[in-house]
């Protein structure tokens, strides 16, 4: 959620080194940071400590393992798969999380690669078997990305040994040496990564979230006194940009099946909403020194819990006082509704509303923080998991089904359709790679592996991105051949020179992802292969010409597959899912308003539909952000729309909890219901603009502008609890209304962009 006047954080494109590894460059805030980045000399932007660690690690271990297998064991088959295994584990795979998470991911890569080597070798002698097996293996590998970030990152790395094994017919007795080389290299590489990897982006995200939480606590405490607000607002705005830049800059956002990952994503969303509540509350409440202490208490308790949650995120042994926060909220409501008291004045009600809403938001944030840091008890974790899945009511399925059957199978079933970025991308990969294998098996291509590698290298979620990567792959390969043509004769027959050249080439190709241009990484990879095979069996630089031809064939196969399957890629799906989030969120808002005012005798429709829309959007965003190259959608516009959808859903959830089941109908709430319906209609109109285009471009939307005296909730009549609920419903709707104007221009821009042909 963004404060009015704030600009959402930019999202950074991702570049990839061959044949599909990716690394995200950290995002940053606009303004001064962007200006400094633009003023930085080009050579300054080539420096990355993380890339240096990765490059040194690979340059030492890949040649070392290859040399051990070739010179000590004297087993060329083992050495070949060891070289590619080291490259897969040290360069292609980019696993995140804790050391334990990384260790598990590398073990899974080792096991998956070994199994795929067996399958690839067994089917390599049959065209039909190889084609069918490749389709199944490719679909499974790419679709497994839906499970979580590490699964997505390891897909291309796991496919590499399969392609090497399936590219040429081989007897079954080579399975042992091939698997041995792969296991040796990936185990050594995994240990090295676990021991030497820099701090994960997850830790950086937690620290940035802690900074924002502390800043909001400062703003809450100073807001009532109007003290140092400009400086504090600037600090909070900068902290928000930093947090969101880290949250979206990685190729895959933390949204896998791991409960801690889901909790961290929930904490970020809750803190974004809290930022908006605090900013709007300060504008409305003014000086709090004259407000009743009971109504100030929830805001003061929220500031304390924000600081405590920030300490937890920094690793300090602090237990947030959630009981005191909840008690302050309960006391505030009791004070307003106690028998015999007169009508509360306007300011007291406004302070009470923001105190209640902020306390509820902070409570959810702190709970998610405890789960993300693995400090919550099972009951608390269960309650939050149900909230994430839209199952917060007591009549919903138990937690056990969510984290086992519904947690694992549900996420797969939710994406087993053509609206899932992972499903369609898996179809595209299966088609491209199986056709490439069939071409290799049926033709006289001398180096079939390079055809498959070319197809694997350029597979992307849109035809435009695939075409761009195909051009880069071919140009980079040609550049690498040119370098090899000059380098190999210069190396002569000196083994030492060949090994030194291999070290340098591996260093460059490992440093490239996310730092150097894609063409440079592809050229370096070509040099690695030329030197590697010249060590194994000297053939000279002419091997590069063969590889250039084969890479072009593979790239062409992937490009055709991209044109046939989903040429526009994940961008359209993101827009569809944002539209669905608005449409379902508007319906939820109308239902929640009616429920909170006692006009519905039964619970609103289950929130699973809105939660499902949010999950589909999360999946589409992950795919879209993982797509390399420039993004056609303006990322600031996109993020503003996404956060507005999250705000709408969280507001509906908050309204849903205002009223007990036995609430009697409020006779003076017609204006509020009409206003809620008008807001829902506005969100539906936004969804129509963002959805699939039908007809001419619609004009820009105009947010509803109702009479504030009618929709403030301050009308007389009804019981004291009804008047209180009416007022709070009016404040919730006003909170949404404040941010509607920010959505008109982004929605119009994305609607215009969608009506362009995919190739533009």
| pLDDT tens sequence across 525-560 | 878 877 887 787 766 555 555 666 666 665 566 566
From the number of C-beta atoms within 10 Å of its C-beta (0-12, 13-18, 19+), residue 89 rates as buried
CA distance 152 to 145: 4
Question: Cα dihedral sign for 639, 642, 646, 651?
Answer: positive
Predicted pLDDT of residue 579: 86
Give yes or no for a contact between 239 and 389, defined as CB atoms under 8 angstroms apart.
no
**Contacting residues for 169 by C-beta, under 8 A, at least 6 apart:** 124, 125
Predicted pLDDT of residue 433: 82
Give yes or no for a contact between 554 and 436, defined as CB atoms under 8 angstroms apart.
yes
From the number of C-beta atoms within 10 Å of its C-beta (0-12, 13-18, 19+), residue 717 rates as exposed
Average pLDDT value for residue range 466-482 = 69
Q: Where are the domains of the chain?
A: 19-31+48-198+417-564, 201-376, 570-754
Is it the case that residue 649 has pLDDT exceeding 60?
Answer: yes
Is it the case that residue 356 has pLDDT exceeding 80?
Answer: yes
Confidence (pTM)? 0.68
Q: CB neighbours (10 Å) of residue 537?
A: 8
Is it the case that residue 385 has pLDDT exceeding 50?
Answer: no
CA distance 170 to 182: 17
Among 53-67, 374-388, 570-584, where is mean pLDDT lowest?
Answer: 374-388
Predicted pLDDT of residue 123: 92
**Contacting residues for 5 by C-beta, under 8 A, at least 6 apart:** none
Three-state secondary structure call for residue 597: coil
Average pLDDT value for residue range 745-754 = 80
pLDDT band at 21 (very low <50, low <70, confident <90, very high): very low
Q: Please give the helix or strand (H or E) that residue 35 lies within, else none.
A: helix 32-39
Give yes or no for a contact between 92 and 509, defined as CB atoms under 8 angstroms apart.
no
Is it the case that residue 153 has pLDDT exceeding 60?
Answer: yes
Query: 286, 300, 305: which is closest to 348 by C-alpha?
Result: 286
Three-state secondary structure call for residue 760: coil
Is it the case that residue 264 has pLDDT exceeding 90?
Answer: no
Give yes or no for a contact between 650 and 591, defined as CB atoms under 8 angstroms apart.
no
More confident residue, 608 or 5: 608
Average model confidence (pLDDT) across the chain? 74
Tokens found for residue 257: 């099946």
More confident residue, 746 or 406: 746
Is it the case that residue 397 has pLDDT exceeding 50?
Answer: no
Predicted pLDDT of residue 308: 94
CA distance 270 to 346: 27
- Cis check: omega of the bond before 19, within 30 degrees of 0: yes
Give yes or no for a contact between 318 and 311, defined as CB atoms under 8 angstroms apart.
yes
Predicted pLDDT of residue 401: 36
pLDDT digit string, tens, across residues 61-78:
999 999 999 999 989 889
Is it the case that residue 11 has pLDDT exceeding 70?
Answer: no
Predicted pLDDT of residue 33: 37
Enumerate the β-bridge partners of residue 23: 15
**Contacting residues for 114 by C-beta, under 8 A, at least 6 apart:** 161, 179, 182, 183
Give yes or no for a contact between 580 and 616, defined as CB atoms under 8 angstroms apart.
yes
More confident residue, 26 or 285: 285
Is it the case that residue 616 has pLDDT exceeding 80?
Answer: no
**Contacting residues for 472 by C-beta, under 8 A, at least 6 apart:** 517, 518, 519, 522
CA distance 225 to 198: 42
CA distance 179 to 184: 8
Is it the case that residue 3 has pLDDT exceeding 60?
Answer: no
Q: Please give the CATH architecture assigned to the domain spanning 570-754.
A: Up-down Bundle (1.20)
Among 323-337, 640-654, 710-724, where is mean pLDDT lowest?
Answer: 710-724
Buried b (16+ CB within 10 A) or exposed e, 278-317: bbbbbebbeebeebbebbbbbbbbbbbbbbbbbbbbbeee
Three-state secondary structure call for residue 600: coil
More confident residue, 252 or 57: 57
pLDDT band at 671 (very low <50, low <70, confident <90, very high): confident
CA distance 611 to 648: 12
Three-state secondary structure call for residue 24: strand
Predicted pLDDT of residue 221: 84
CA distance 737 to 10: 25
Average pLDDT value for residue range 444-452 = 63
Asked if domains 201-376 and 570-754 share a fold, the reply is yes
More confident residue, 424 or 88: 88
CA distance 136 to 122: 15
Highest mean pLDDT among 313-317, 488-492, 648-652: 313-317
Q: Does domain 201-376 have CATH number 1.20.58?
A: yes
């Amino acid at each position: 959620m963004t404060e009015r006047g704030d600009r959402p954080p930019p999202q950074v494109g991702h570049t990839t080194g061959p044949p599909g590894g990716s690394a995200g460059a950290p995002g940053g805030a606009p303004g001064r940071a962007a200006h400094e980045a633009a003023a930085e000399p080009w050579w300054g932007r080539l420096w990355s400590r993380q890339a240096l660690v990765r490059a040194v690690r690979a340059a030492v271990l890949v040649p070392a393992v290859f040399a051990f297998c070739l010179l000590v064991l004297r087993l060329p088959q083992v050495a070949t798969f060891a070289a590619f295994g080291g490259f897969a584990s040290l360069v292609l795979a980019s696993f995140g999380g804790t050391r334990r998470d990384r260790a598990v991911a590398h073990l899974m890569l080792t096991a998956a690669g070994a199994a795929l080597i067996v399958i690839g070798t067994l089917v390599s002698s049959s065209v039909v078997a190889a084609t069918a097996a490749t389709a199944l293996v490719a679909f499974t590998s790419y679709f497994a990305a839906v499970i979580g970030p590490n699964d997505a990152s390891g897909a291309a790395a796991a496919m590499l040994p399969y392609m090497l094994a399936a590219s040429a017919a081989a007897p079954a007795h080579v399975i042992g040496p091939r698997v041995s080389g792969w296991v040796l290299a990936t185990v050594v590489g995994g240990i090295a990564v676990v021991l030497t990897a820099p701090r994960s982006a997850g830790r950086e995200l937690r620290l940035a979230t802690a900074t924002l939480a502390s800043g909001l606590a400062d703003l809450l405490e100073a807001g009532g006194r109007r003290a140092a607000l400009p400086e504090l607002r600037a600090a909070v705005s900068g902290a928000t940009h930093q947090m969101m830049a880290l949250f979206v800059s990685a190729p895959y956002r933390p949204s896998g099946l791991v409960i801690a990952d889901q909790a961290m994503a929930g904490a970020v969303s809750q803190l974004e909403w809290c930022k908006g509540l605090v900013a709007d509350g300060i504008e409305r409440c003014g000086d709090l020194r004259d407000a009743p202490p009971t109504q100030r208490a929830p805001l003061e308790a929220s500031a304390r819990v924000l600081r405590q949650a920030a300490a937890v995120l920094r690793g300090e042994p602090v237990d947030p006082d959630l009981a005191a926060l909840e008690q302050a909220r309960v006391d505030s409501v009791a004070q307003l509704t106690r028998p015999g008291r007169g009508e509360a004045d306007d300011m007291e009600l406004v302070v009470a509303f923001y105190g209640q809403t902020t306390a509820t938001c902070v409570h959810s944030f702190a709970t998610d923080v405890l789960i993300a840091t693995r400090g919550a008890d099972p009951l608390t974790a269960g309650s939050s998991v149900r909230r994430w899945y839209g199952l917060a009511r007591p009549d919903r399925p138990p937690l056990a089904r969510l984290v086992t059957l519904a947690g694992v199978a549900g996420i797969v079933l939710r994406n087993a359709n053509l609206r899932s970025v992972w499903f369609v991308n898996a179809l595209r990969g299966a088609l491209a790679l199986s056709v490439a294998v069939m071409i290799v098996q049926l033709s006289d291509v001398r180096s079939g592996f390079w055809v498959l590698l070319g197809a694997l290298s350029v597979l992307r979620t849109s035809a435009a991105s695939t075409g761009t990567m195909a051009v880069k792959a071919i140009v980079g390969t040609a550049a690498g051949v040119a370098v090899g043509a000059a380098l190999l004769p210069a190396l002569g027959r000196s083994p030492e020179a060949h090994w030194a050249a291999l070290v340098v080439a591996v260093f460059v190709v490992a440093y490239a992802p996310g730092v150097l241009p894609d063409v440079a990484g592809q050229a370096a990879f070509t040099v690695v292969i030329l030197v590697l095979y010249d060590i194994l069996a000297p053939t000279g630089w002419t091997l590069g010409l063969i590889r250039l031809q084969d890479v072009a064939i593979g790239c062409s196969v992937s490009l055709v597959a991209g044109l046939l399957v989903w040429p526009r890629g994940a961008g359209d799906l993101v827009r569809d899912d944002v539209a669905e989030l608005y449409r379902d969120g508007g319906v939820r808002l109308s239902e929640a308003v009616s429920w909170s005012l006692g006009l519905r005798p039964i619970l609103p429709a289950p929130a699973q539909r809105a939660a499902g829309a949010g999950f589909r959007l999360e999946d589409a965003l992950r795919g879209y952000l993982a797509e390399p190259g420039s993004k056609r959608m303006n990322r600031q516009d996109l993020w503003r729309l996404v956060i507005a959808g999250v705000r709408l859903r969280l507001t509906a959830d908050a309204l849903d909890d205002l009223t007990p089941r036995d609430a009697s109908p409020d006779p003076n709430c017609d204006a509020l219901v009409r206003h809620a319906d008008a807001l829902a209609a506005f969100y539906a109109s936004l969804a129509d603009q963002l959805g699939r285009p039908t007809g001419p471009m619609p004009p820009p939307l105009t947010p509803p502008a109702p009479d504030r005296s009618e929709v403030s909730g301050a009308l007389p009549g009804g019981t004291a609890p009804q008047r209180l609920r009416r007022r709070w419903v009016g404040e919730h709707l006003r909170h949404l209304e404040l941010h509607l104007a920010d959505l008109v221009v982004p929605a119009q821009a994305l609607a215009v962009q969608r009506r362009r042909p995919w190739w533009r």
